[in-house]
Structure 1
Amino acid sequence: MLHIPEKLRAQMRRQHLLQGQNNPHIRQILVQAGLRPTRQRLALGQLLFCGPHQHLSADDLHLLAIDQGFNMSLATVYNTLNQFAQAGLIRKISVSGQRSFFDTNACNHQHYYLEDEDRMIDIDGAPPALSPQPEAPQGYRITKIDILVSLKKI
């Protein structure tokens, strides 16, 4: 197995990420969502949208960005994730208090929260139903119903 020094690997990861910033797909996603394709948005968009569906906290994404050789502040990651969520590109799911996950699948679907592992997964199959569905107050309509089922290992 070829040994590549960590400094060189970090440089290669950063180069890969920078190439992703020129990804027209990511740039188009941002522009269509009404977001200016800044360097940070392009980099985080590359990490979020060019891979498998994922549920990440801002801390998770921050560590992933650093691992890929792209240094940015945690505040920048939080701000960008919230901008992506406001634009409808991702879903923000609050678990407890200040803890939130960001889901790259913005379609309506439900989740399990694995408390012991501090991680979120999709509920496969038919989602749990809220029955009867509550009636919205006058002047409002229901836009989505989020169901989060918290699980603890037995």
Structure 2
Amino acid sequence: MEVRLKTQEQAIDGLIRRKLEAAGVRPTRQRVDLGRVIFGAGDWHFTAEMIYQETRTIRFAPTLGTIYNTLNEFARCGLLREIAIYDAKLWYDTKTGPHFHFYREDTEELSDIPDEWLPTIDIPPPDGMRIAAIDVIVRVKKA
């Protein structure tokens, strides 16, 4: 059982390494450890502080500064999407394609708006420009 678990961990680490390398990121041990936490849960939204709490049990737990640096590098290379919320909290999203968000002010939770609810937004860019992204955050709170 333990050997099988070790083999699964090695396979996951290999996938993370290839993902990082494909994005042009050097797959250091700490980046692979953080990649396992970040990308191992599917699509989700998180802050650096959430990752910091999540990684406290890793043998060589990264500092908050290392986490911020790694998240910035992952976002710069297109592995993560940065989402700035108005209360100065920076969120990260593993789903990097176009989509919109709900932000619950009372619980400070970020979630995707279902695709079938999305409006069509057709905004022409200024001359000589192209639209890189349209970010929409719908702020909600309990009625």
When the two structures are superposed, what TM-score results if normalisation uses the length of structure 1?
A: 0.80
Whether the 8 Å contact between 1:20 and 1:43 is mirrored in structure 2 is no
Whether the 8 Å contact between 1:110 and 1:147 is mirrored in structure 2 is yes
Moved >6 Å (runs of 4+): none
CA displacement at 1:152 relative to structure 2: 0.9
Q: Partners in 1 of 2:106 and 2:74 — Cα distance?
A: 28
Unaligned runs of 5+ in 1: 1-15
Relative distance call for 1:29 and 1:109 in structure 2 (3 A) is same
Relative distance call for 1:69 and 1:117 in structure 2 (3 A) is farther
Aligned-residue RMSD, C-alpha = 2.0
Q: Partners in 2 of 1:21 and 1:43 — Cα distance?
A: 13
AA aligned to 2:17 is R
Q: Does 1:33 align with 2:45?
A: no
Identity %: 35
Whether the 8 Å contact between 1:33 and 1:89 is mirrored in structure 2 is yes
Q: Does 1:140 align with 2:129?
A: yes
Q: Partners in 2 of 1:76 and 1:122 — Cα distance?
A: 27
* Match in the other structure for 2:3: none
* Match in the other structure for 2:99: 109
Superposition pairs of residues 1-150 of structure 1, within 5 angstroms: 19=9, 23-129=13-119, 131=121, 133-150=122-139
Unaligned runs of 5+ in 2: 1-5
When the two structures are superposed, what TM-score results if normalisation uses the length of structure 2?
A: 0.85
Q: Partners in 2 of 1:136 and 1:80 — Cα distance?
A: 32
AA aligned to 1:36 is R
